[in-house]
Amino acid sequence: MQKPDPPKLGWPLWLFVTATLVSNIGTWLFTVGSSWLMTELDGSALMVSLVQTATMVPLFFFALPAGALGDVYDRRLNLLISQGLLIISTAVFAWIVYADRATVPLLLLFTFFNGLGAAFSRPLMSAIIPQLVPKELLRSAVNLGGISFNLSRAIGPVLGGYLITRYTLDLPYWADAVSFLTVWIYIWFWRDDRENLEYGRQPPLRLAMGDAVRFYRHSPALRDSTLRAVSFFFSASALFALLPLVARERLSGEADLYGYMVGAVGAGAVLGGVTLGGVTRRLNANRMIFLAGAVMAAGLAVLGWSTSVPLSLAAVLACGAAWQTGYTTVMTSTQYALPRWFGARGLAFYLMSTSACLAIGSAAWGWIADLTTLAISHYAAAGSLLVLTILARRLRLDQASHFDLSIGDPLFSVEAAGMTSAPKKQLLRTTYTFPGHLRKPLLDRLADLSGSRYRSGALRRRIIDHPDADRIDEEVDLILGTPYAGVRMQTTRHDADMQGRFEEWLANNGVQMEREVLNGEHE
C-alpha cells in the first residue's frame, strides 16, 4: 500500500509569513534608527540600552490583557486597531525626526508606543500560527516564522544603516510606517476559525485574565517553558543592548557597520533555523536549549574581547544561530502546552517573561558597562548565561508535545446549576466513599487531578478528609448559570482522559462517587 503524502505547510501560512516578513523588516528599520539616534543624542551605555528597555516594558505590562482581549473578543478587530495605531505613531515620529525635533524623552516615548503596539499584537499574531497548520507541523511552522523574523533581521538593519548613512535618519521611520500596512491588509482578509467562537458567550475580561493565571500556575509544561525562556534571554539581552556601542566604540564604525552587525545576527539566525530540523532529529529540546546557551555565551565573550571587525561579525553570526535555536525550542514547547481557547493568553506569559528579561537585562548590562567597561559587561553576561543554563536543566521542555489539547468532555456539569441568568458562584461537592485501605491511594489520585480542575474552569478547590469515616469530599468553586459558563469551562481531551481513567479506577475498586451543587453568593 502506498503511504499517504506527508502534510505540507500550506499557502495560508506562507501568506502570513510573507506579511510578517515585510512588517518585521520595517520594525528593524525603526530599531536601528532609534538605537543610532540615541548614540547621537546621548552616547552613554545605559541610555543606548534603554531603547531596548522602552520597547520591551509594554510587552511585560500589557501582553496578558492583550492576550485576554484576543481570546475573548474579536481577534481580527484587535489586530486591525493595534496595527493602525502603529502606522500613525511611527509616521508621527518620522516627521519629528525629519523636522530635527527629536530629543531623548521623545525617542523613548515613541519607542514605548511602538512597544505598546507590539504588546497588543504579538500574542495574537503568535496565536494565529497553530490555526494555520496541523500539530505535527507546528515546530516547522514556528521555525519558519523564526526564520522569517531573522531574515528580516538580516535585511532590515543593513537597509537601515544604508539609508541612515547615505540619505537621512528619518527615512527608516517612514519605511516602517508603510511596512505595517502589509500586516494590516493581511489581517483585513484573514478570518478566525477558532473552535466554539461565540463572542456573546465569552467571560468578562477580568475573569478571562484570572482563568489565564490559574491555567499558567497549574500547567507545568507552560510554566517550565516560560522559565526556561527567562534563563536564556536575560543574559542574551546583552547582545542587542550593547551592539550599537560595540560598532561605534570598539570597532570605530558608523551606522552602516552597526547595520551589518545586526544583519549578521539575522543571517546567523536564518542559518541556524535552516539547519535546526536536522539537529533536532538527533538532539531533544532540552539539549538544544543547553547548546544554544553555550554558543551564545561564547559569542558574547568574544564580543567583549575582540577589536577585529571580521572576528566580531563571526561572533554575532554564531549568536544569531544560538538566538534562533533558543527561540524556536522554547516557543514550540510553549505552543505545545496551549489549547486554542487559551492560545493568546498563554503566549502572553511567554512574551511577558522574555520582554521582562530583555527590558531588565538590557538596562542592567548597560549600567554595568557604564560602571566598568563594555568588555566586562559582555563577560558578565556570558558568565551569567552559563550559570543560568546549568541551573535551569531541571525545567523540562516539550512536556505537552504528545497531549491532545482539542476540546473534550467537560469535567463539570453546568446543567446541574439550573442555568440561571445571573452570574453566580456555586460549590460543586463530590463525595467519595471507599473501603478503608484505599484512603491514601484515593488522596494521591485526587492530588494528581488538581491541575486538570483548575485548567477546566475551577476557581478554587479543597480536599476534605474525614479520618473518622471512610469518606473524602472534593469541593470546587465554579461560576455557573451564566451564558459564558460553558465556554470558559472547556476541557481538553487530555484532562478528560485523566478524569476517565480516574473514574474507571473508582469503579474497579468499589469507590462510590456522588455529586451535589450547593448555592453560592452572587459575584
Q: What is the pTM of this model?
A: 0.72
In the chain, residues under CATH classification 1.20.1250.20 are 11-189+203-394
CATH architecture of the domain covering 407-518: 2-Layer Sandwich (3.30)
Kindly report the average pLDDT of the chain as a whole number: 80
pLDDT at 383 over 90: yes
Cell, residue 189 = 482578509
Question: CB-side exposure of 63: number of CA atoms within 13 Å?
Answer: 28
CA distance 68 to 123: 9
pLDDT at residue 186 in the model: 80
b/e map of 151-171 (b: 16 or more CB within 10 Å)?
bbbbbbbbbbbbbbeeeebbb
Residues of the chain with CATH 3.30.70.100: 407-518
Whether residue 103 contacts residue 142, with contact meaning beta carbons closer than 8 Å, is answered with no
pLDDT of residue 282: 65
429 alpha carbon, distance to own chain's centre: 36
Higher pLDDT, 460 or 49: 460
Confidence of residue 483 (pLDDT cuts 50, 70, 90): low
pLDDT at 522 over 50: no
First-residue to last-residue Cα distance in the chain: 60
* Residue 418: pLDDT over 50: no
**How large is the angle between the packed helices 45-72 and 205-217, nearest 10 degrees?**
110
Mean pLDDT of 330-342: 84
- Higher per-residue confidence, 297 vs 66: 297
What is the distance between the alpha carbons of residues 257 and 116, in angstroms, rounded to a whole number?
29
Superfamily of the domain at 11-189+203-394: MFS general substrate transporter like domains (1.20.1250.20)
pLDDT at res. 149: 72
Phi and psi, residue 431, nearest 5°: -105, 125
pLDDT at 423 over 60: no
For residue 297, pLDDT beyond 90: yes
The average pLDDT across 353-382 equals 87
Q: Residue 508, class by beta-carbon neighbours within 10 Å (0-12 exposed, 13-18 middle, 19+ buried)?
A: exposed
Q: Tell me which DSSP letter residue 397 carries.
A: S
Distance CA 6, CA 288 (A): 25
Q: Is 387 exposed, middle or buried (0-12, 13-18, 19+ CB in 10 A)?
A: middle
> Is there a contact between 264 and 316 (Cβ–Cβ < 8 Å)?
yes
User: Cell triple for residue 492?
Assistant: 481538553
**Least confident interval from 193-197, 202-206, 287-291, 493-497:** 193-197
pLDDT band at 4 (very low <50, low <70, confident <90, very high): very low
C-alpha cell at 138: 507546528
Pairing of β 491-492 and β 512-518: unpaired
Work out the number of other CB atoms within 10 angstroms of the CB of residue 2. Answer: 4
> Stretch 402-416: mean pLDDT, rounded?
73
pLDDT on residue 65: 77
User: 45-59, 254-268, 323-337, 353-367: lowest mean pLDDT where?
Assistant: 45-59
Q: Can you name the residues that pair with 471 across neighbouring β-strands?
A: 433, 466
Q: Which has more confidence, 475 or 118?
A: 475
| pLDDT tens, position by position, 306-325 | 888 889 888 988 898 888 88
Mean per-residue pLDDT, 276-281: 57
Q: Which residue has the cell 473508582?
A: 506
Please tell me which residue, 50 or 513, carries the higher pLDDT value.
513
Secondary structure element (H or E) that encloses residue 212, with its range: helix 205-217
pLDDT tens digit sequence for 26-74: 877 887 788 778 877 876 777 777 777 777 777 777 777 777 776 666 7
